[in-house]
Structure 1
Amino acid sequence: MSLKIRLSRGGAKKRPFYKIVLADSRSPRDGKFIEKLGTYNPMLPHDHEQRLVLKEERIKHWLSVGAQPTDRVAKFFATAGYIAARVQPEQSKKPQPKAKAQERLKEQQKAAEAAAAEAPAGE
């Protein structure tokens, strides 16, 4: 059985409230869980004490047993100091322009720099 520490959504429409739960990885997001480990209320200000409530002792126990936190929960645990921060993978280069377009942009930048350098000298 693979254990996950993840968020389970509650609250009304457009008013989210999350429970941080330990669940079997095969169970549905808002379905059956083993233990509630905390709460997260994104509607509260960042400095509010009730925005993120964690049960430190139980979290440390389940992490030592081998439960894997999801990405968002891992960020919460990293800020709380329970685990080391995960390194974000490098973003893909897909949205960048192709090679010829990048060359044209570099040429335009060089031309703009040359024009800017000549303008003050001509005054």
Structure 2
Amino acid sequence: MALKIRLTRGGAKKRPYYRIVIAEATSPRDGRFLEKVGAYNPMVAQDHPERLTLNEERIKHWLSVGAQPTDRVARFLGKAGLIEARTYRETPTKSAPKKKAQERAKAAAAAAAAAE
């Protein structure tokens, strides 16, 4: 039984409210869960104390049993200091100039240096 610490959506249309729950990995997003361990309300200000509430001792228990947080929940837990904060994205190399453009830039820099 693989356990996940993840978000389940609640609230009205265009007014999301999420519960942080412990659930089996194969259960549906808003389906059956084992325990509610927190809540996340994205509609309030970022510095508001009710934006994110966590039951830290229960989360520590479930982490020790082997529950794996999803990426978003891992970010929350990293900010709260419950787990080590992960680095999520590396700088993309796709947007870097291609080989010929890099050669032209080097040539232009060399020409500018020679002109001085």
TM-score, normalised on structure 2? 0.85
When residues 13 and 96 of structure 1 are mapped into structure 2, their CA distance, relative to the original with a 3 A threshold, is farther
Unpaired segments ≥5 residues, structure 2: none
Unpaired segments ≥5 residues, structure 1: 119-123
How far off is 1:4 after superposition? 0.4
SS at match of 1:75: helix
1:105 and 1:31 map into 2 onto residues whose CA distance is 56
2:50 and 2:60 map into 1 onto residues whose CA distance is 20
Per-residue CA deviations over 1:83-109 (Å, capped at 9, x if unaligned) read 11113342442233321123334555x
The corresponding residue for 1:74 is 74
Alignment partner of 1:60 is 2:60:
yes
1:102 and 1:16 map into 2 onto residues whose CA distance is 46
1:107 and 1:28 map into 2 onto residues whose CA distance is 57
2:13 and 2:107 map into 1 onto residues whose CA distance is 51
How far off is 1:11 after superposition? 1.5
When residues 31 and 99 of structure 1 are mapped into structure 2, their CA distance, relative to the original with a 3 A threshold, is same
1:44 and 1:100 map into 2 onto residues whose CA distance is 49
2:41 and 2:104 map into 1 onto residues whose CA distance is 48
Which aligned pairs between 1:83-94 and structure 2 lie closer than 5 A? 83-94=83-94
2:27 and 2:72 map into 1 onto residues whose CA distance is 18
| Range that drifts further, 84-93 or 9-18 | 84-93
1:71 and 1:93 map into 2 onto residues whose CA distance is 23
1:103 and 1:49 map into 2 onto residues whose CA distance is 53
How far off is 1:5 after superposition? 0.2
Q: Say which one has the larger Rg.
A: 1
2:43 and 2:105 map into 1 onto residues whose CA distance is 43
